Structure 1
Amino acid sequence: MTNTEPTRRGPKRSEESRLAILTSAFELLQEVGYRGLTIEGIAARAGVGKQTVYRWWPTKADVLLEAGAVKADLRVSIADHGSYRSDLEQFLRDSFTLLEFPGLTGLLRSLMAEAQIDPDFATRFRDGFLNRRRNALIEILDRATRRGDAPIHLTTELMADVVFGVIWYRLLATERPLNTHDVPPLLHLLTSGPATERDSRA
């Protein structure tokens, strides 16, 4: 299981202040857009000093990064539902439902755009969000392999590429939002074909 908050150095953060800052950043992004978002504005909305924000996050993008990561960790299940198909279906439904949450697609597009122009942030974005979500899915797929019901026609890495390739392509290159109606065809694509040899012999 992944933690909802990455390990950080420095003073221990007040959980109340942390949540207020994350919530304020998310709300302000919807109101003023990424360009209009400032650390000062976030701090004022959260009722803290701007140095409090800077002490915990180096940039406004990093505040949004944690806000998005926390929402994903809380709302996308990686629990064991008894089978590869059931686990994957729940992961896809939760992920696509999360994308329907007001403001979430704008947050992700802003983070990806910032990652293209700031190499340092790009590394933090990969570690703090992209790989974090990918590892959550891979945990499901690895569990299916141990259970014996994972399909053998796709590698774990390729399955993750397909799922997140679909998500990011829709987010960044189209105006067609993903929703739960997209789950059945994608689920069929990722579950059709033979299962592991152990499962096929059962």
Structure 2
Amino acid sequence: MAETEADKNTNAGTGKVRPHTGRRRNEAARRAILDAALRLLGEGDGAPVTVETIARAAGVGKQTLYRWWPSKGAVLLEALAESAQQAVSAPDRGDLRSDLQVVVAATFAGAQRPPVGPALRTLAREAARDPQLAALMREFTECRRAALREVLERGRERGQLDPGRDLDLMVDQIYGVFWYRFLLGHAPLDDATATALAELLLR
């Protein structure tokens, strides 16, 4: 007998069936899937996170994931984005040095909070072998780069930054420090680092 959609969405541990409404996401199932994906990412034990492992942990069938997301990477990024709060603010205190310190320190702190920190490290590892996930990672980080660039642009408009400075290069320098220390763990990513980095860039 062919497996029905209800069978696919049966929670193996409880025998309960998660309701669904075709392509329209059921919020309870969606939440279970995203929570499971983030939990698996956060475990970071080296085992690859797959559609199968996410579905099993969430108690749904694989087809439920494929119906609502185009790929495994899309599930993982949505889970991380919700936890990390996708919207990133660009502070405006009227002083470039102060604004830059605030946004850099917030970036460092936010990326290290559990479960975001372990999840982000796992995603970076997965993206190295998954071109589609790598592209989604670039989209995920773009709003953070945009917030940082906005701070720099406002500073330039106020005359607090040399108009000839390459803003994209400055953003890359900040995120270069972030990713290098975040992935290797050889030095801290704390408020003191954020302050020192801002001072160095604005000399």
TM beyond 0.5: yes
Q: Does 1:104 align with 2:116?
A: yes
| Secondary structure of residue in 2 paired with 1:70 | helix
Counterpart residue type for residue 181 of structure 1: A
Residue in structure 2 matched with residue 85 of structure 1 by the alignment: 97
Identity %: 43
Q: Are the equivalent residues in 2 in contact too, given 1:138–1:160 (CA < 8 A)?
A: yes
Counterpart residue type for residue 164 of structure 1: Y
Structure 1 residue 15 displacement after superposition: 5.1
Residue in structure 1 matched with residue 39 of structure 2 by the alignment: 27
| Secondary structure of residue in 1 paired with 2:187 | coil
Q: Are the equivalent residues in 2 in contact too, given 1:39–1:50 (CA < 8 A)?
A: yes
Higher helix share: 1
CA distance in 1, matches of 2:29, 2:92: 33
Match of 2:160 among 144, 149, 154: 149
Residue in structure 2 matched with residue 70 of structure 1 by the alignment: 82
Structure 1 residue 91 displacement after superposition: 0.8
Residues 113 and 82 of structure 1: is their aligned pair in 2 closer, same or farther, counting only changes over 3 Å?
A: same
Structure 1 residue 32 displacement after superposition: 6.2
Residue in structure 1 matched with residue 142 of structure 2 by the alignment: 131
Structure 1 residue 187 displacement after superposition: 1.6
Q: What per-residue deviation string (whole Å, max 9, x for no partner) do you get for residues 120-156 of structure 1?
A: 3322222x22333222211222232333333446321
Q: Does 1:183 align with 2:194?
A: yes
Q: Pairwise mapping of residues 26-65 of structure 1 onto structure 2 (< 5 A)? A: 26-31=38-43, 33=45, 35=47, 37-46=49-58, 48-65=60-77
CA distance in 2, matches of 1:182, 1:33: 29
| Secondary structure of residue in 1 paired with 2:45 | helix
Q: What per-residue deviation string (whole Å, max 9, x for no partner) do you get for residues 47-92 of structure 1?
A: 5443222223344333222233334445743242333223212211
Match of 1:168 among 154, 169, 179: 179
Counterpart residue type for residue 134 of structure 1: R
Q: Are the equivalent residues in 1 in contact too, given 2:34–2:79 (CA < 8 A)?
A: yes
Q: What per-residue deviation string (whole Å, max 9, x for no partner) do you get for residues 102-135 of structure 1?
A: 2333322222222222223322222x22333222
Q: Are the equivalent residues in 2 in contact too, given 1:77–1:94 (CA < 8 A)?
A: no
Residues 177 and 18 of structure 1: is their aligned pair in 2 closer, same or farther, counting only changes over 3 Å?
A: farther
CA distance in 1, matches of 2:172, 2:57: 38
Q: Are the equivalent residues in 1 in contact too, given 2:37–2:75 (CA < 8 A)?
A: yes
Q: Are the equivalent residues in 2 in contact too, given 1:115–1:121 (CA < 8 A)?
A: yes
Q: What per-residue deviation string (whole Å, max 9, x for no partner) do you get for residues 147-179 of structure 1?
A: 333344632111101110001111223443412
Residue in structure 1 matched with residue 10 of structure 2 by the alignment: none
**Which sections of structure 2, spanning at least 5 residues, go unmatched?**
1-21
Query: Quick check: 38-47 or 167-176, which moved more?
Result: 38-47
TM-align CA RMSD? 2.9
Counterpart residue type for residue 180 of structure 2: Y
Query: Quick check: 112-121 or 65-74, which moved more?
Result: 65-74
Residues 23 and 83 of structure 1: is their aligned pair in 2 closer, same or farther, counting only changes over 3 Å?
A: farther
Between Structure 1 and Structure 2, how many residues are aligned?
182
